[in-house]
């Protein structure tokens, strides 16, 4: 993912939370995941070398990186 693609993606998402080197954006407009092409729920950007994530639900994840940041595209599992 290049700078222009990431900037365009972030501008289409709703900022949700940022703390401890992790920033979360909500996908409120059903943008397709760049990895699997299915709409994703959230984009989680991990900016530090080490990050810890506490998950409260089962998620499928698609992963890429950009300039040393890990980008996680979350997909909530249907029950």
Residues 59-70: tens digit of each pLDDT = 999 999 999 999
* DSSP output for 53-75: ---SS-EEEEEEEETTEEEEEEE
pLDDT of residue 1: 82
Neighbours of 24 (CB within 10 A): 18
Residues 10-52: tens digit of each pLDDT = 999 999 999 889 999 999 999 999 999 999 999 999 999 898 8
Give pTM, 2 decimals.
Answer: 0.89
The domain of 39 spans 3-75
What is the C-alpha to C-alpha distance for residues 4 and 10, in angstroms, rounded to an integer? 10
What is the C-alpha to C-alpha distance for residues 79 and 76, in angstroms, rounded to an integer? 9
The number of domains in the chain is 1
């Amino acid at each position: 993912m290049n700078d222009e693609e990431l900037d365009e993606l972030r501008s289409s998402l709703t900022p949700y939370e940022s703390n401890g080197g992790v920033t979360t954006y909500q996908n409120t407009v059903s943008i397709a995941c760049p990895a699997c092409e299915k709409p994703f729920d959230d984009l989680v950007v991990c900016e530090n070398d080490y990050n810890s994530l506490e998950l409260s639900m089962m998620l499928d994840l698609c992963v890429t990186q950009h300039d040393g940041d890990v980008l996680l595209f979350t997909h909530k599992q249907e029950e």
